[in-house]
Each structure stands twice: as structure tokens, then as C-alpha cells.
Homo-oligomer: A and B are copies of this chain.
Amino acid sequence: MSQLSESYCEACDVNAKCLEPAEIEDLMSQVEGWEVIEESGVPKLKRVFSTKNYARSMLLTNEIAALAESINHHPLMIVEYSSVTVVWWSHKIKGLHKNDFIMAAKTSALF
């Protein structure tokens, strides 16, 4: 079991530091299936979860939403018939925080 999925995601403020590339590389080994993408210069964590049907997609979407609300850290989700794409990043620091890896691991654990 990934240690990250058991970690606690603490709210980060605008002064929190973005992860360094070496730190990201290290954490990537703990979030299988996730990739780092870059949008408008902001690195983000992305994974596409394939599902059997729309009901499963909506079930997963609602589970991720409940997790997000419980911690007050919210991803972008793209809901389609047989997939849910999830993207995590820290809006306040315009980059990746360890929190995002924790949330990615928790998201994978829901799947």
C-alpha cells in the first residue's frame, strides 16, 4: 500500500514552495498511472481512469468529489461515458505540492 495514500493533506498557503523536479521524480514512483503534464507553465498530475459505463464514471466522480470536499482541495475532473480524467495541482502556488501527490494516491485508492 502506498504510504502517500495514508498521508494527510494539509492546506498549503501562497508561500508554500512548489516541489523541485527531483522531489517530483521521487514522488512519481509512488503514484502509478499518473503523469506530469504542463498547462500554461503549471505542472499538474493527471490520470485517466477507465470505467465500465456511465454509472461507474459518476460513482467515481462523486467519490472523488467527497474526498476533495473533506480536505478542501479540489481537482479538475473530466467526466465521459467510460472514463474519468482527474487533474491535481495547487492553484495557490501554481504548481505541484506534496499534497497533490497525496491526493493522487488517495484518488487511486478510491478506484
Pair A74/B58 contact, Cβ less than 8 Å: no
- Asked if A55 CB lies within 8 Å of chain B CBs, one says yes
- Asked if A18 CB lies within 8 Å of chain B CBs, one says no
Which residue of B is nearest A64, CB measured? B79
Which of chain B's residues have a CB closer than 8 A to the CB of A69? 54-55
Per the bound structure, the CA–CA distance linking A2 and B76 in Å amounts to: 31
Q: Residues of A with Cβ closer than 8 Å to B?
A: 54-55, 58, 61-62, 65, 68-69, 74, 76-81
A selection of 21 A-B contacts at a CB cut-off of 8 Å is A54-B65, A54-B68, A54-B69, A54-B74, A55-B69, A58-B62, A58-B65, A61-B61, A61-B79, A62-B62, A65-B79, A74-B80, A74-B81, A76-B78, A76-B79, A76-B80, A77-B78, A77-B79, A78-B78, A78-B79, A79-B79
